[in-house]
Every structure is written in C-alpha cells, then in structure tokens.
Amino acid sequence: MLTIGTLAKKTGTKVQTIRYYEQIGLMPEPGRTEGGQRRYGDAELDRLSFIRHSRQLGFSLDAIRELLDLSDHPEKSCDEADAIARRQLRQVEQRMARLKALRTELKRMVHECSGGRTADCRVLEVLRDHSECLTEHDDIGA
C-alpha cells in the first residue's frame, strides 16, 4: 500500500495534482486508513502512470479520459484510440509549423538588433510594424 507521497514520487507527479485528478474523477477514490489518509495499490499506480505519460505526450485531460475508458474495455474497437492519437499528432504538427514561423521572425528580429538606443531598436520596430509579418491574425494558441 502506497501513501500519496510515494505514489507522487514514483510517477513524477505532485501530491496536489493527484488529489486534483481524484477531484475531477480521473483517478478513483482510493481506500483510506482509519485516520483518513489515502492508500494506493498497483492498479492506481498503473493508472496514474498512464495519465502522466499521456500528459507528457500532450494529450488533454479530456482525451485521456477517453483513452482510459477505451483501456477499460478491451473488447471495444481500437479505432477510437487510434483516432485520438492521430488527432494529437495533427495538433503537434500544427504547433510545430507555427513555432517554425515564429522562430524565423524572432531570429530576424534578434539578428538585426544594432545594440544602440531603443529608438533605433529593430526588435521594437518589428513588433510595431505588422506588415512584413508572416503570422496570421487569429489563433494565438500556445
């Protein structure tokens, strides 16, 4: 039986985060000691590892909820899990493309900085001037 702290260490999660996952129903309510402290078993360790690994791959908590549900029903078709993963892959690729454009513009800004007074600063000038900008108007999203 693991305390919440041990579980936290084993999975690289903060204690608060585990309680948060319980609160939103992503982790089940565990057993308790007489004094009311949580005690976890291997099933919970596996589940939390799954969650954390998925988070590291950028899946949203909602997506993880779906994946966990699929994982709980081995007789279901694999298609859904595959679709979720593909969606995630598309998102990652979109973000990469976006970051690439940002990097280009940032590099341009930085390399052209003369090192003088801010009055002549290329960094600020580029930020002021939208016209030679590659990025679109909407969807700032991280």
Partner DNA sequence: GCTTGAATCTACAGTAGCTAGAGGATGTAA
Partner DNA sequence: TTACATCCTCTAGCTACTGTAGATTCAAGC
Which residues contact a copy of itself by CB under 8 A? 12, 46, 49-50, 53-58, 67, 70-71, 73-82, 84-86, 88-89, 92-93, 95-96, 99-100, 102-103, 105-107, 109-110, 113-121, 123-124, 127-128, 130, 133, 135-138, 140, 142
Binding of DNA by 98 (CB under 7 A): no
Indicate which of DNA, a copy of itself, none lies near residue 117 (CB less than 5 to 8 Å, by partner kind): a copy of itself
Residue 3 · residue 39 · CB < 8 Å: yes
Determine contact, residues 40/1, Cβ cutoff 8 Å. yes
Contact residue for DNA among 6, 94, 104, 135 (CB under 7 A): 6
CA distance 64 to 57: 11
Q: How far is the CB of 33 from a copy of itself (least distance, A)?
A: 28
DSSP letter assigned to residue 118: G
How many angstroms separate the CA atoms of 117 and 45, rounded? 56
Among a copy of itself, DNA, none, the one that 60 touches (CB under a kind-dependent 5 to 8 A) is DNA
- For residues 121 and 114, the answer to whether their CB atoms sit within 8 Å is yes
Nearest to 92 by CA among 138, 51, 58, 140: 58
10 binds, among a copy of itself, DNA, none (CB under 5 to 8 A by kind): none
Number of residues located near DNA, criterion CB under 7 A? 22
Judged by CB under 7 A, the chain residues 15 through 54 that form the site for DNA are 15-17, 19-20, 33-38
> Which candidate, 37, 26, 49, 50, places its Cα nearest to that of 1?
37
